[in-house]
């Protein structure tokens, strides 16, 4: 398990694994020790060999031993746990900051230059600080290969984690807090790339340009994929958590506005309102409060692209 020639995926692997191995070793000693003693007692003190039970009335020496020894053992476990955890609580000042948005049911990542992705990109050998923002309910951001996990609490200030990736590669990200129906779909990836490559990637705008130049609405679709609209909406008529976008443009929809049923035609105004203030007009038959506002996360220009895309979903 512990081969020093293999570079560990992050700076925290060593501390966490050490605590884990120490606790595992101690548990193992107890498992073997207790089993052996139990079998020995079965043999030595069974009725044939030891017909008359010996009564023991306390032993100060034994009491002291079985208080002091476990105390030392727990303190050893505590020490390794503490030493592995303490460095996680303070991010270096020069760490690169990325905002992680967690919502039902996807993660999206926003970089310093405003770029948004559905896969986390980080540079190798540079400290990275993730500012964790839960938009609706509790989530938990978990990267097993980096040995980091942090609860994402809605409204909690300074909710963060940090790490320094040390090995190029792709690693899994999970949500580790049951957060509703499609919790298990909150599965994402962190890609560790060489730092020079990362700088190129950060400033690369050709990808976005390439998308816009293809089909109408392609940019809007990309935005929706990155930010996770398709966790709840389909384009093929299937209902998920929210209504399907199939044939949505120009379509008459029954909504409930302030407890009152009314019919509206889907236009720019309606879609924009649905995204910025989803609970103002709730589509009849759907649950209020599941979709939360994207105000601040999507700009008017993004909404315009999304509308362009929704027009094409026939």
Least distance in angstroms from the C-beta of 296 to Cu ion: 20
- Does 148 bind Cu ion (CB under 5 A)? Our answer is no
Dist CA 234 CA 236 (whole Å): 6
Binding range to ligand HEC, per CB under 6 A, among 87-95, 110-118, 192-200, 281-289: 281-289
- Does 19 bind Cu ion (CB under 5 A)? Our answer is no
Binding range to ligand HEC, per CB under 6 A, among 23-31, 43-51, 205-213, 235-243: 235-243
Least distance in angstroms from the C-beta of 174 to ligand HEC: 18
Q: By CB under 5 A, name the one of 103, 124, 133, 139 that touches Cu ion.
A: 139
* Cis peptide bond prior to 272, omega within 30° of 0: no
- Does 135 bind ligand HEC (CB under 6 A)? Our answer is no
- Does 111 bind ligand HEC (CB under 6 A)? Our answer is no
Binding range to ligand HEC, per CB under 6 A, among 6-14, 84-92, 156-164, 278-286: 278-286
Sheet (strand 96-103) strand order: 116-117, 106-110, 96-103, 128-134, 160-163
Which residue, 168 or 176, is less far from Cu ion as judged by CB? 176
Dist CA 31 CA 189 (whole Å): 37
- Does 152 bind Cu ion (CB under 5 A)? Our answer is no
> Number of residues in contact with Cu ion, rule: CB under 5 A?
4
**Residue 42 CA to chain centroid, in angstroms?**
49
Look at residue 137 and give the partner it binds from Cu ion, ligand HEC, none, a contact being a CB closer than 5 to 8 Å depending on partner kind: none
Look at residue 138 and give the partner it binds from ligand HEC, Cu ion, none, a contact being a CB closer than 5 to 8 Å depending on partner kind: none
Compose the 172-191 pattern: x for residues touching Cu ion by CB under 5 A, - for all others: ---x---x------x-----
Least distance in angstroms from the C-beta of 275 to ligand HEC: 5
Paired with 196 in beta bridges are none
DSSP 63-80: HHHHHHHHHHHHHHHHHH
| SS3 of residue 284 by DSSP | coil
Dist CA 139 CA 100 (whole Å): 11
Q: Which residues contact 124 (CB under 8 A, 6 or more apart)?
A: 165, 166, 167, 168, 192, 193, 194, 195, 198
In degrees rounded to 5, what are phi and psi of residue 13?
Answer: -60, -45
Least distance in angstroms from the C-beta of 155 to ligand HEC: 18
Query: What residue ranges bind Cu ion (CB under 5 A)?
Result: 139, 175, 179, 186
């Amino acid at each position: 398990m512990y081969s020093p020639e293999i570079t560990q995926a992050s700076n925290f692997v060593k501390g966490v694994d050490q605590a884990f191995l120490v606790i595992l070793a101690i548990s193992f000693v107890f498992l073997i020790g207790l089993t052996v003693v139990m079998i020995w007692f079965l043999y030595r003190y069974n009725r044939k060999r030891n017909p008359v039970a010996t009564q023991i009335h306390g032993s100060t020496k034994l009491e002291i031993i079985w208080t002091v020894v476990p105390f030392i053992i727990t303190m050893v476990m505590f020490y390794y746990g503490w030493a592995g955890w303490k460095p996680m609580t303070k991010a270096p000042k020069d760490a690169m900051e990325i905002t992680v948005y967690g919502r039902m049911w996807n993660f999206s990542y926003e970089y310093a230059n405003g770029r948004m992705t559905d896969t986390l990109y980080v540079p190798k050998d540079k400290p990275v600080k993730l500012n964790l923002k839960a938009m609706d309910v509790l989530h938990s951001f978990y990267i097993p290969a980096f040995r980091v996990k942090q609860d994402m609490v809605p409204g909690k200030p300074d909710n963060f984690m940090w790490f320094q990736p040390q090995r190029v590669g792709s690693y899994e990200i999970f949500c580790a807090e049951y957060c509703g129906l499609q919790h298990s779909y909150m599965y994402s990836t962190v890609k560790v790339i060489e730092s020079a490559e990362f700088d190129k990637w950060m400033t690369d705008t050709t990808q976005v340009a390439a998308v816009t130049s293809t089909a109408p609405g392609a940019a809007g679709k990309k935005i929706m994929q990155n930010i996770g609209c398709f966790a709840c909406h389909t384009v093929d008529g299937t209902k998920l958590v929210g209504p399907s976008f199939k044939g949505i443009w120009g379509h008459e929809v029954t909504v409930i506005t302030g407890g009152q049923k009314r019919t509206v035609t889907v236009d720019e105004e309606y879609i924009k309102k649905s995204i910025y203030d989803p609970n103002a007009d709730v589509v009849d038959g759907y649950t209020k409060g599941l979709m939360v506002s994207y105000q601040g996360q999507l700009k008017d220009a993004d909404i315009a692209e999304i509308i362009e895309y929704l027009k094409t979903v026939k």
